[in-house]
Amino acid sequence: MYRIAVIGGDGIGPEIVAEGRKVLEAAADRFSFDIRWEEFDIGAERYLETGELLTEEDLKELSGFRAIYFGAVGDERVLPGVLEKGILLSLRFYFDQYINLRPVRLLEGVTTPLAGKSPRDIDFVVVRENTEDFYVGVGGRVRGRDRATHEIVRNLYNIRFGIDCESDADEMAYQIGIITREGAKRVITYACDLARRRRKKLTSVDKANVLTDMYGLWREVFSEVCGNYKDITTEFAFVDAVTMWFVKNPESFDVVVTPNMFGDIITDLGAMIQGGLGLAAGGNINPGGTSMFEPIHGSAPKYRGLNQANPMATIWAGSMLLDHIGETAAAEKVLAAIGRSIKDGVVTKDMGGMSRTSDVGDYIAALVKNM
C-alpha cells in the first residue's frame, strides 16, 4: 500500500489530478497494489483567505510521504511569482528535490512541428539540476547611495565598467548564480546512471564559454564523474547550440544533463517538439526523500471547471510516479494506454479531438484495466 500526497492547487489543477488519480487507481487494481491518497489544501484559495502559502505543519506532514502528486499553481488574483515561489519552489528546495526529470518523447499519432521527424527520432530525457544555479534566490536591487546592503556588488560594478553608481537616480539589479561541486556531482551521477539504462549517451549543456567560473566547475565535475562510466559516450554542448540541435537532429540525444536555468528553458522547447505542453510531464526527485510529480504546464484559470483541459501530461506524470515507487509494469501500462488513447482519437480539443477531460481519463483508465 502506497500513501501518496495530493496537491491539486489552482485553476485546472484539481480536475486534471482527479483524472490522473482515476488512471493510477485503475493501474493499482490491474497490478494488485493499493494507493491511499491524502489531500492537502495548498494553493491560491487558502492564500487569499488566510495569507498562508506553506506552513511548517504542511511541510512536516508532507515529509512523511515518498511522493506528492501535484496539479498546478497560479491565479490571476495573486501577483505572478507569489504562489510559484512560495509553494512550488519552496517544496522543491525544502525536500531537496535536486533532480528535475523531463521525458521528451513523441508518441504515435501526435504531430510534431519538426518536418520529417517521427517517434523514432524524438525520445530523450532531460535531467535538470533543480536546486542551484540562478534560482537560489540570491539577488537584489541597488538604488542611488544604498551602500549598506550592496556595497560589494556596487564596487564590483564600478571596477568592471568604470561607472560610479552615485546619484540617487542610479539603479541596478543583480542575480547571483551558484553551483557547488557536490550539487553538480549528484545530478550528473544520476544522469550517468540513467544513460547506462538507456542508450548510453550523455550530453552536458552549459555556457562555459562566457560564464566561465560557474560552468567551468560544472564541466570539471562532469569529466570527473563520467570518468567512472567508461561504457557511456559523453559530449559537451553550449545551450544555444543545443536549442538548434533539438530542432534539427533530436535523434542525436539520449540523456541530457543541464544546470537549472538552462534546463528550465530547453525543456519547454522539448515539450513543443513532443507535441505541446498538454503532453509534458515532469518529476522533481529526491532519490532518498520526498519527490513530486506534475505536469509542466500552468493552471490555465480560464479553463477551470469547463472539463476541457488536457489531462494527459498529468497522467504521464502519474506514470513517472508509479515508476519512482517501484511499480514499473504499471507505469509502462499507463504510458502505453496514453499512446493508445491518442491513436484511437480520444483526445481533447487542443490535440484536435472532441473529448472532455473526464472522457480522456475514463478511456485511459479502462485501457489500463483491459488492454
Answer yes or no: are the C-beta atoms of 305 and 18 closer than 8 Å: no
Question: What pLDDT, on the 0 to 100 scale, is given for residue 4?
Answer: 98
Instruction: Clarify whether 240 is annotated catalytic.
Output: yes
Question: What pLDDT, on the 0 to 100 scale, is given for residue 168?
Answer: 47
Identified catalytic residue from 135, 190, 229, 363: 135
Instruction: Clarify whether 264 is annotated catalytic.
Output: yes
Answer yes or no: are the C-beta atoms of 319 and 331 closer than 8 Å: yes
Q: What is the mean pLDDT of residues 107-131?
A: 96
Q: What is the mean pLDDT of residues 127-156?
A: 73
Identified catalytic residue from 201, 207, 349, 369: 207
CATH T-level fold of 1-110+275-371: Isopropylmalate Dehydrogenase (3.40.718)
Instruction: Clarify whether 200 is annotated catalytic.
Output: no
Identified catalytic residue from 75, 123, 264, 323: 264
Q: What is the mean pLDDT of residues 122-142?
A: 89
What are the backbone angles phi and psi of residue 97, rounded to the nearest 5°? -80, 80
pLDDT at residue 363 greater than cutoff 50: yes
Question: What pLDDT, on the 0 to 100 scale, is given for residue 138?
Answer: 81
Q: What is the mean pLDDT of residues 171-177?
A: 79
Instruction: Clarify whether 350 is annotated catalytic.
Output: no
Percent of the chain residues past pLDDT 70, beyond the cut: 92
How far apart, in Å, are the Cα atoms of 13 and each of 335, 358, 362?
Answer: 20, 13, 17
Identified catalytic residue from 96, 268, 350, 362: 268
Instruction: Clarify whether 268 is annotated catalytic.
Output: yes
Q: What is the mean pLDDT of residues 65-83?
A: 94
pLDDT at residue 291 greater than cutoff 70: yes
pLDDT at residue 193 greater than cutoff 60: yes
Average pLDDT score over the chain = 92
**Can you read off the three cell numbers belonging to residue 158?**
564600478
Identify the residue with better confidence: 171 or 336. 336
Percent of the chain residues past pLDDT 90, beyond the cut: 85
| pLDDT tens string 251-265 | 999 999 999 999 999
Question: What pLDDT, on the 0 to 100 scale, is given for residue 152?
Answer: 59
Question: What pLDDT, on the 0 to 100 scale, is given for residue 166?
Answer: 55
| Domain edges within the chain | 1-110+275-371, 112-124+179-257, 141-175
pLDDT at residue 165 greater than cutoff 70: no
Say if pTM beats, i.e. exceeds, 0.75: yes
Answer yes or no: are the C-beta atoms of 129 and 189 closer than 8 Å: no
Question: What pLDDT, on the 0 to 100 scale, is given for residue 146?
Answer: 56
Answer yes or no: are the C-beta atoms of 17 and 69 closer than 8 Å: yes
pLDDT at residue 315 greater than cutoff 80: yes
Question: What pLDDT, on the 0 to 100 scale, is given for residue 260?
Answer: 95
Identified catalytic residue from 34, 41, 213, 240: 240
